A and B are shown apart, each in its own frame.
Chain A
Amino acid sequence: MATDGDTALTKKGGSDMGELISTLEEIQAKYSYLPEEVLREVARKTGRSLVDIYGVATFYRAFSLEPRGKHLISVCLGTACHVRGGAAIAQEIQQQLGIKAGETTEDKEFTLETVNCLGACALGPVIVVDGHYFPGVKTSMVSDIIERARTGLDKIEIETDQRVFPLEVSCARCNHSLMDPRHVIDGHPPVRVTVSFGTKHGWLMLSSLYGSQEVSSEYEIPPDTIVHMFCPHCHAELIGGARCGECDAPMVPMIVRGGGVVQICSRRGCKGHMLDLGGVTLD
């Protein structure tokens, strides 16, 4: 297994346990489980004993030493969900997928796990599929949910979610529109700005759908890079005083047509953004 490229392994290696957990989290995010060879590699690179790493990896339910499926289904069996039939839901999913809780289907599509509480008791019985919450699940809904998970839940949400809507924005300094009618992202003309990071300088197109993270750029922007955005018309930097609530990077403000300001985080990969329509704030 090629482990040399793992950023998790090369950039970390301190001695406290918190760093070990975040290292393991990154490995889990990359492989969807913790492969034995990679854990041995972590031990070699960090000088930490394998016993400690194995102990931490087996202690937390969030870590798995077995390969997991593409889609993770978590069925809540907390008290509230249990009395509302969570166990029957788990049973139904087990039957339909032909696996038991904690197992993965043979085609590596689904992993089923039961959790003791998701903290959403009022929505019970609740299941979470790939980060999407399904409240008030009935056994008759299970096959539909599994089918939707198979085709990809994110896709369907973009098309049907009414909270996602296109914005038209302009430069705060010269008031020129930043919209680019010659291109299409997410079915709408995107926002086009000039972007600069490191020694690179080029264009960047952002989806105009509020809430969508689709972008396209002249140069590949590495994750976590903080970029500077400029108006392509007056070449002024789009910058305000605000900082991102998620990662503390500077926010990039743009004027929304019809009044208000939208701010997006300048860090690649950060989903921090806010919309201020003259007193009404949406996150």
Chain B
Amino acid sequence: MVTLYINNLRVSVEEGTTILEAARFLGFPIPTLCYMDGLSPYGACRLCVVEIGEGPKARLVSSCTYPVEEGLRVRTASSKVVKARKLILELLLASCPQSKTLQDLASAHQVRQVRFRQEHEDCILCGLCVRMCEEQMMAKAIGFHGRGEKRGINTPFDKKSETCRLCGGCIYVCPACSLRCTYTEPDKAICGGCANLAPPCVEKDQFDDMMCYMEPCVACEIKKD
């Protein structure tokens, strides 16, 4: 067992657990985006930052990848952490302003404006889909390619993959694909269904209403009736 202090509370957890797991177990909320139970932690989104150490040695680390240490002092919601989290959300939102997941997270953390140029990317490179495909679906059909600003996620050679079973797991976990539903007219932001769904590795036509992985919003439900 390892003894550490989370928000000044002395706790003992098993060796090998991460700060995130320990904090969540004890009921301290830490927001996450690229973390998912059942998938290996990746530390890409940095949303789960916490402050460790004290005084001049205090620093921010991603709690989902940081294993607990003896005597470690962790603060999950210090002003430094909150400020960093808001900035990270602002940056993520600037690259994917359409993402409902990001919008909800930003709203929950009082991010009221985005000061950066909006990019309208369709991917934040969180790697959830890649890990889902490899670790849960045992397929390894998609992966990262390129580097720097050319980095992206796709099937090899941008071709339909032989190993892909069209399970849709990648779309299910994607925080960027889950766009706020706008049906066929993006300017009229009223939900109409899943017409905007464009998974990266398959043709759009193959997904009809039945295969939609987006959760319908209330407006959509009303309109359908």
Partner of A50, one of B144, B146, B147, B156: B156
Rounded to whole angstroms, the CA-CA distance of A55 and B143 in the bound complex is 7
Please encode chain B, from 146 to 170, with 1 for each CB lying within 8 Å of some chain A CB and 0 for all others.
Answer: 1100000001110000010000000
CB distance from B96 to the nearest CB of A (A): 22
For window 24-71 of A, CB contacts with B under 8 Å fall at 36, 39, 49-55, 58-60, 65
> Cβ of B100 < 8 Å from any Cβ of A?
no
Give every chain A residue within 8 A of B142 (Cβ-Cβ). 51
Q: Are A51 and B147 in contact (CB under 8 A)?
A: no
> Cβ of B49 < 8 Å from any Cβ of A?
no
Interface of B is mostly: loop
CB distance from B133 to the nearest CB of A (A): 8
Report the interface size for chain A: residues with CB under 8 A from the other chain: 13
The chain B residue with its CB closest to the CB of A49 is: B140
Rounded to whole angstroms, the CA-CA distance of A49 and B141 in the bound complex is 8
Rounded to whole angstroms, the CA-CA distance of A55 and B151 in the bound complex is 10
Rounded to whole angstroms, the CA-CA distance of A55 and B163 in the bound complex is 16
Q: Are B147 and A54 in contact (CB under 8 A)?
A: no
Partner of B144, one of A36, A39, A49, A55: A55
Q: Are B157 and A54 in contact (CB under 8 A)?
A: yes
Q: Are A51 and B157 in contact (CB under 8 A)?
A: no
Rounded to whole angstroms, the CA-CA distance of A50 and B147 in the bound complex is 17
Give every chain B residue within 8 A of A50 (Cβ-Cβ). 156, 163
Q: Are B140 and A58 in contact (CB under 8 A)?
A: no
Give every chain B residue within 8 A of A52 (Cβ-Cβ). 140, 143
Q: Are B147 and A59 in contact (CB under 8 A)?
A: yes
CB distance from B3 to the nearest CB of A (A): 37
Q: Which residues of A are interface residues toward B (Cβ below 8 A)?
A: 36, 39, 49-55, 58-60, 65
Other than the given A51-B155, A65-B157, 19 more pairs (CB < 8 A) read: A39-B156, A49-B140, A49-B143, A50-B156, A50-B163, A51-B141, A51-B142, A52-B143, A54-B143, A54-B145, A54-B157, A55-B143, A55-B144, A55-B145, A58-B146, A58-B147, A59-B146, A59-B147, A60-B147
